Structure 1
Amino acid sequence: MLRRKSFVFHRNCQLFERRSSKLVSTIVSTFTAYYVHKWPEFFPSMPLEPCCLPTFDGRAVQYPSVRNLRDYMSWRQVDCHINNLYNTTFWNMVLKGGMSNTDAEQELKGTVSSDKNEILFSRFGINYNNEPEMFKKGSVLYRDFELQPIERHQAHQQLSKPREDEGYTEDGEEPSQVSKTQREKQKKLQRKADIAIAYVDIIKDEFWEQRPWILSNRAGKLRGS
């Protein structure tokens, strides 16, 4: 079973002196360890067997701009939806429809989203739109600060050309004039922030408009402060 995870580091990140091999090996090994550790909590009736333990691979990719990064994340969310719709349809055909894996795979070959939605609804009474957002959109984890209301007519301008006096440049890069004291203050605020998990649309601008700190690497206002 395939599990895709993406970990995003800001372009100014200096962790492990930016050595890609060190970043990848540490992230993959840490993620795998926690995945195995948490397995019994989520699958108590399915103990892991030595013959088929979870394993993961990884690679580091550099994106030249914020727009490129957003395009990548959007593609990942679309991919999540496509895979989940296929798997939901496939396993209903097998488990509820009594089809073999081969027959179900053959029938789904060449189908589009509307075909799969029709199979789910007509045969199994399932409206895919009512499926949990967690499975359709995936899980998004981020540092959680107070959401920022942004006027619609300002949204495109603020996303495409962030103001340097707000602490970052057009591509989301921290200006060189930011002092060491300011950087340390930002790091402290980031460490204090909770980690939120959400099942939301990250393709549209709204998610990023309300959470400008994600792309700017500039801490927002702590909730309740």
Structure 2
Amino acid sequence: MKFEEIEAVMRKNESLSEQYILPENYIIVRLDGKGFTKLTKEKLTLEKPFDARFGKVMTDTVKHLFNTGFKVIYGYTQSDEISLLIDKNDQTFSRKVRKINSVLAGEASAFFSLQFQELCVFDCRTIAIPNREMLLDYFCWRQEDAHRNSLSAYCYWTLRNNGFTENQATGKTEKMTQAEKNELLFQYGINYNTLPAWQKRGVGIYNKEVVKPGFNPVTNETVDCVRKELFVEKELGMRGEYRLFLKEILKCKN
């Protein structure tokens, strides 16, 4: 078979297996650290349950992903997870799912690895979201997941730091309600409500308009310039408050 004939067959096979995000759908991309439990236990020296440097690198990774060619509206990170909201009109890579997944997973993995000088890998999935209410539901869901995991992590490491083994700490907390977990922490002198918000609720990143002084060389005058800058919100509200915060960000994209 000639080269041209082989190529035609292969290209056809590729196109038949393609998946696309349909028009008028928002794109959400969620990235997760692959094997990060082993990475954080064996290769990185981190504070438990939350490490400030690790949190900063996760935030910086999100900021990096804002500059990879996609129209990212909002980024959210908690633990070793990143969620990106991409504009419904974005046509990058013709909205091919495999390209979105491979490019963003590669960018995140490469950037994160460079920060720690260790091989770190993210996997990636792309989700089509048809309307704004579902968008709000998605991010509120991920924040609630952050809150639950944070509370559990604090309980686990509090017990470990007070003489419990891995199995004992896991067994003691796995069937506790959230109220019981808060009470456990309080018994060890920890008020969960006063802990840093980024540890409990995650971090939001979005473009914000700021006014900065500029210079007009034609009129030789100082003028105010409106520019967009990435803003990191470490004090996210919860539930209804968080929903209103997201609505304001989406409103700016009309």
Task: Calculate the TM-score normalised by the size of structure 2.
Answer: 0.58
- Distance in 2 (CA, whole Å) between partners of 1:75 and 1:39 is 29
In the alignment, residue 96 of structure 2 is paired with which amino acid?
Answer: R
| Contact preservation (8 Å) 1:94, 1:101 | yes
Match of 1:108 among 173, 176, 181: 173
Across the aligned residues of Structure 1 and Structure 2, the Cα RMSD in angstroms comes to: 1.9
Structure 2 unaligned regions, length at least 5: 1-36, 38-78, 211-225
**Residue 144 of structure 1: CA displacement?**
1.0
Shift of 1:79: 0.3
AA at the equivalent of 1:207: F
Q: Which residue of 2 aligns with 1:126?
A: 190
Counterpart contact for 2:136–2:246, Cα < 8 Å:
no
- 1:1-225 equivalence runs, <5 A: 1=37, 3-39=80-116, 48=118, 53-95=119-161, 97-122=162-187, 124-145=188-209, 192-199=227-234, 200-201=236-237, 203-204=239-240, 205-209=243-247, 211-212=248-249, 214-215=250-251, 217-218=253-254
Q: Label 1:71 to 1:143 Cα distance change in 2 as closer, same or farther (>3 A).
A: same
Aligned length: 159
Whether the 8 Å contact between 1:10 and 1:215 is mirrored in structure 2 is no
**How far has the Cα of 1:34 moved from its partner?**
1.3
Higher helix share: 1
Offset of residue 145 of structure 1 = 2.4
1:82 counterpart SS class: helix
Identity of aligned residues (%): 26
Structure 2: distance between partners of 1:78 and 1:208: 15
Distance in 1, matches of 2:184 and 2:100, equals 43
Unpaired runs of 5+ in structure 1? Answer: 41-47, 147-188, 219-225
- The Cα of 1:39 is off from its aligned counterpart by 2.4
Structure 2: distance between partners of 1:68 and 1:215? 15
TM-score scaled by structure 1?
A: 0.66
Distance in structure 2 (CA, Å) of the matches to 1:88 and 1:30: 31
Cα drift, residue 202 of structure 1: 5.9
Whole-angstrom distance in 2 between the partners of 1:99 and 1:26: 43
Distance in 1 (CA, whole Å) between partners of 2:93 and 2:252 is 21
Shift in CA distance, 202/116, structure 1 to aligned 2, threshold 3 Å: closer
Greater percentage in strand: 2
Q: Secondary structure at the match of 1:70?
A: helix
Show CA shifts across 1:115-159 (max 9, x none). Answer: 11111111x20000011001111010111126xxxxxxxxxxxxx
d(CA) in 2 for partners of 1:71 and 1:215?
A: 16
CA displacement 1:56-102 (0-9 Å, x = unmatched): 1111000110100110000000000100110111011102x110001
Name the amino acid aligned to 2:155.
T
CA distance in 1, matches of 2:114, 2:82: 17
